[in-house]
Amino acid sequence: MKALKLVMTILAASFFIFFSFSSPSLAADNTSPTTPVSPKNLCKNIPDPTYCKNVLQPYNQTGNVYYYGRASVKKSVSQARKFKSLIEKYLRNRDKLSVPAVRALEDCRQLAGLNLDFLLSSFETVNKTSRVLSTLKAEDVQTLLSAILTNQQTCLDGIQATASSWSVKNGISAPLKNDTKLYSVSLALFTKGWVPKKKKATTWSPGGKQLGTTNRRLPLRMSGQNRAVYEAVSRRKLLQAEDENDEVVSVNDIVTVCQDGSGNFTTINDAVSAAPNNSLASNGYFLIYVTAGVYEEYVSIAKNKRYLMMIGDGINQTIITGNRSVVDGWTTYNSATFAVVAPGFVAVNITFRNTAGAIKHQAVALRNGADLSTFYSCSFEAYQDTLYTHSLRQFYRDCDIYGTVDFIFGNAAVVFQNCNMYPRLPMQNQFNAITAQGRTDPNQNTGISIHNCTIKAADDLAASNGTIKTYLGRPWKEYSTTVYMQSYIDSVVDPAGWREWNGDFALNTSYYAEYNNTGPGSDTTNRVRWPGYHVIGNSSDVGNFTVFNFLLGDDWLPQTGVPFNSGLLS
């Protein structure tokens, strides 16, 4: 693989705390995390100071940030267990609940299980040390703590939207909100005590010297029969090495899905079930080769199906399709045709589709909550809420995304590179919003970065009378964060660029930015004048949102075999 690299001459400020909009109080507090401090003084620099003080008050009055941070994360683990038990209690009485309410509770059960895993992993880290962590380790934990807040919000949104029973709403919503405040305290204290103030280069030095990560050659281990399948796929130039410095993807085993029965499986779900559980990155990928065909399946890659790679025969050749929607009683979360939460997932040459149509409102083609996940040369097709970039760290390269209202949404740390965004023709009286980013907390390390992409009208919208308005995005949550950089924006985008969600909600706290874009829709002269909107002129500022800085992608993307640009284009 040849990944184009551009080394930033000046390392940008840590992406863990974005500019002044993210957390001005934390950024301005230079007190050492080892200095004893009272809960009252410590909580002045944390979101919801009153709640923070009440949580920390019972603990030692002369503790430091590390002491209080460990106490907060430990308490968070306890509360996560209690909440998971509460969800199980409601589900034991599912016969008394509506189908939509049960589905929302099932979402909450899955999310609560993930939260408990994430908190236990985070506590293991913070309990070992009272010092600033390495950049990579700090980002791992901050990413998990950020995802916990996202999972809480997703559970709450589903319960409030679908649970008709007052007792369910009240019984779940109150502890959800209180636990979310506690998790926010844990995230803030972790950011203050364990996260480096400045990012340190891991693969590239400021002078541009390569330090070894992308020179590493990954071994190729497989049987002769599997090698034949691998080489057949490689002829499409997906995984083969081009010269001695390129990566070779590590593949442990390969199975083929073919509807005519000539492969190992006839359904994708059966192939996923056959994948090993809790595989390690060092074991290599379990590769599922899905031959051309239309697969009417709802596929869910569970958290234990780690490091799974799925390759199809091409966009509009291998198609995975479904038609679930909110109108038909599903939550937005579980309306997805394809869903993945297992870390290290890679998909190549596949179309993900939801055919519910604009009239069914929220209907997700793909929901991704998989950390360190990658989609290359894929297509995502639906209308409202097409691509749910739910949480954790994600990368999309050379993909096509079609939709109408909020068709790229969620709260992951995600970079789209060399992708095509195609706004479609929505229902009458609707408008198009390409993004709806869902960051809820100033200390989350999340946002949408759109780099070297193309924004053009889909054929049906292009053939309309031109009255449909299309916007780059709108603020779904309070700290909504989206950046377009070095992209082509066609005239389909309204001159205002961005649209309100509801009145002045999040216009001060969101962060929307554009940098060095081209095309008739890139003119910023008549853009919105919100405090949270920025036209960036300095490459060192926008550098926070590159693959290198935003995802630390040089550390994990090479092993996927997917091409990427580490920094800005020259």
Residue 185 has pLDDT above 90, yes or no: yes
pLDDT, tens digit, for every residue of 284-321? 899 999 999 999 999 999 999 999 999 999 999 999 99
| Cα diameter, the chain | 69
pLDDT at 250: 81
Q: What is the mean pLDDT of the chain?
A: 87
Same domain, yes or no, for 180 and 314? no
CA distances from 230 to 248, 249, 286, 374 (A): 12, 11, 12, 19
Asked whether residue 277 is assigned to any structural domain, the reply reads no
Asked whether residue 134 is assigned to any structural domain, the reply reads yes
CA distance 331 to 335: 6
Coil, strand, or helix at residue 8? coil
Same domain, yes or no, for 323 and 449? yes
pLDDT, tens digit, for every residue of 8-67? 322 233 333 333 333 333 334 567 899 999 999 999 989 999 999 999 988 877 799 999
CA distances from 379 to 389, 420, 534 (A): 14, 9, 30
CA distances from 343 to 101, 308, 340, 510 (A): 28, 8, 9, 28
pLDDT at 252: 85
- Residue that the structure tokens 């007792």 belong to: 167
- pLDDT band at residue 561, thresholds of 50, 70 and 90? confident
Same domain, yes or no, for 186 and 316? no
pLDDT at 206: 30
Same domain, yes or no, for 174 and 306? no
Q: Please identify which of the residues 398, 400, 406, 554 carries the catalytic annotation.
A: 406
More confidently predicted of 164 and 175: 175
Note whether 110 and 91 are within 8 A (CB).
no
- pLDDT band at residue 229, thresholds of 50, 70 and 90? low
pLDDT, tens digit, for every residue of 418-460? 999 999 999 999 999 999 999 999 999 999 999 999 999 999 9
Domain boundary pick from 194, 222, 257: 194
CA distance 502 to 524: 23
- pLDDT band at residue 141, thresholds of 50, 70 and 90? very high
Residue 236 has pLDDT above 80, yes or no: no
- pLDDT band at residue 150, thresholds of 50, 70 and 90? very high
Same domain, yes or no, for 367 and 488? yes
pLDDT at 11: 29
Closest CA to 442 of 160, 142, 70: 142
pLDDT, tens digit, for every residue of 89-121? 999 999 989 899 999 999 999 999 999 999 999
Coil, strand, or helix at residue 334? helix
The parent domain of residue 46 ranges over: 39-194
Considering only 60-69, 124-133, 203-212, 536-545, which range has the smallest mean pLDDT?
203-212
Q: 488 phi and psi, to 5 degrees? A: -95, 120
Q: 257 phi and psi, to 5 degrees? A: -105, 125
CA distances from 547 to 15, 140, 176, 336, 437 (A): 11, 15, 33, 27, 18
Same domain, yes or no, for 345 and 493? yes
Alpha helices, DSSP H only, in 252-307?
A: 268-274
Strand 420-423 and strand 413-417: the pairing is unpaired
CATH number of residue 535's parent domain: 2.160.20.10
pLDDT at 199: 63
Q: 339 phi and psi, to 5 degrees? A: -135, 140
CATH number of residue 75's parent domain: 1.20.140.40
Q: Which residues contact 200 (CB under 8 A, 6 or more apart)?
A: 134, 135
Residue 208 has pLDDT above 80, yes or no: no
pLDDT, tens digit, for every residue of 344-358? 999 999 999 999 999
Same domain, yes or no, for 189 and 313? no
Q: Position 497: which residue type?
A: G
CA distance 53 to 360: 45
Asked whether residue 256 is assigned to any structural domain, the reply reads no
Asked whether residue 240 is assigned to any structural domain, the reply reads no
Task: Assess whether 406 carries a catalytic annotation.
Answer: yes
Same domain, yes or no, for 305 and 440? yes
| Per-residue b or e along 126-153, where b marks 16 or more CB atoms closer than 10 Å to that residue's CB | beeebeebebeebbbbbbbbbbbbbbbb
Domain boundary pick from 177, 194, 211: 194
CA distance 471 to 96: 43
Residue 214 has pLDDT above 80, yes or no: no
Q: Give the E-state strand segments of 345-412 in sequence order.
A: 346-348, 351-354, 366-368, 373-376, 379-381, 387-389, 393-397, 400-403, 408-410
Asked whether residue 253 is assigned to any structural domain, the reply reads no
pLDDT, tens digit, for every residue of 490-528? 999 999 999 999 999 999 999 999 999 999 999 999 999
pLDDT at 230: 53
Q: Helices 135-162 and 99-126 sit at what angle, rounded to 10 degrees?
A: 160
Asked whether residue 432 is assigned to any structural domain, the reply reads yes
Total tally of structural domains belonging to the chain: 2
- pLDDT band at residue 283, thresholds of 50, 70 and 90? confident
Asked whether residue 217 is assigned to any structural domain, the reply reads no
Same domain, yes or no, for 305 and 431? yes
Length of the chain counted residue by residue: 570
Asked whether residue 289 is assigned to any structural domain, the reply reads no
Same domain, yes or no, for 411 and 550? yes
Closest CA to 39 of 53, 26, 18, 28: 53
Note whether 352 and 365 are within 8 A (CB).
yes
> Taking the complete model, does pTM exceed 0.85, yes or no?
yes
Domain boundary pick from 175, 194, 213: 194
